[in-house]
Amino acid sequence: MPEELRTRYQPSGYLLFGDVKKDAENRRLLREQVAQDMHDLTKQFADDEKHNTRSTFTMLVRVFNEQCEVIEDTIEIREHPGGDVIQNTSEPDATRDGKKGPGYQVQLAETCDEENDVQLITAAIPQTAAEPDSGAIEPVLDALERNHLTPEAMLADTAYGSDDNVQTCEAKGVELVSPTPGKKADDACAINSDDCVVDETTITVRRPDSGSPNCCS
């Protein structure tokens, strides 16, 4: 490998990206150089059996494929590679959440009875940061069931309250109580409880209110 390439990645007090001026153009040029180097190394050692099975090489290939793509012999860095990509080669299982950043998260279930002297955590499901909250209901219920702690009702944030999750809870005898997502301002056909005729005896929706301005048929 050429000396210029080798010296570029030698350990230094400032590390590779710390040496670059903080303006956007220099960082863009550096990222393009790194992408090109990764592509060249991938091609150089792809068929070399002494190197292509090493963990460092397979990690190099994975990072390049997640962060870059080759379009008509030009290397393009993905502007939005998503959250389920490597954040740190020293911690390959960590992913990224767009709001909370890189790392891990934990889905928690806890008691919430006003009559309890204390409230206790009843389930803890570790996850990488990119996993959506909506997919956590079933593993939490499974954990509660294994420990004989299945509740009659489960209170959850809006992100957990999909129809699928409601049905999953129902199948296990649990009532899922969760806010419904708010309607979008630009959705003329979105309706809420005020746009429906409700049976006051059973507290169920009988039909949409045809007189409502938001009711579309």
pLDDT of residue 194: 65
Q: What's the CA gap between 164 and 151, in Å, rounded? A: 18
What residues make up the domain containing 151?
Answer: 101-181
pLDDT of residue 85: 93
213 is a domain residue = yes
pLDDT of residue 200: 72
Q: What's the CA gap between 123 and 189, in Å, rounded? A: 39
154 plus 206 within the same structural domain = no
172 plus 197 within the same structural domain = no
160 plus 206 within the same structural domain = no
Q: What's the CA gap between 13 and 15, in Å, rounded? A: 6
pLDDT of residue 215: 46
Instruction: Give the Cα-Cα-Cα angle 59, 60, 62 (nearest 5 degrees).
Output: 60
Tens of pLDDT along the chain (217 residues) come to 888 888 888 776 666 666 556 677 888 888 899 999 999 999 999 999 999 999 999 999 999 999 999 998 899 999 889 999 999 888 999 999 988 889 999 999 999 998 999 999 999 999 999 999 999 999 999 999 999 999 999 999 999 999 999 999 999 999 999 987 665 555 656 666 666 777 777 767 666 555 555 544 4
pLDDT of residue 177: 95
Q: What's the CA gap between 129 and 99, in Å, rounded? A: 10
15 plus 67 within the same structural domain = yes
Q: Is 190 helix (H, G, I), strand (E, B) or coil?
A: coil
DSSP one-letter code for 13: S
195 is a domain residue = yes
pLDDT of residue 192: 63
- What total of structural domains would you count in the chain? 3
Neighbouring C-alpha atoms within 13 Å toward the C-beta of 84:
3
**Amino acid, single-letter form, for residue 190:** A
Tens-digit pLDDT profile for residues 130-182: 999 999 999 999 999 999 999 999 999 999 999 999 999 999 999 999 987 66
Q: Which helix (H) or strand (E) holds 166?
A: helix 163-171
Q: What's the CA gap between 159 and 144, in Å, rounded? A: 20
If we measure between CA atoms, which residue out of 153, 127, 155 comes closest to residue 139?
127
Task: Write down which residue in 31, 48, 81 finishes a domain.
Answer: 81
Task: Write down which residue in 81, 113, 129 finishes a domain.
Answer: 81
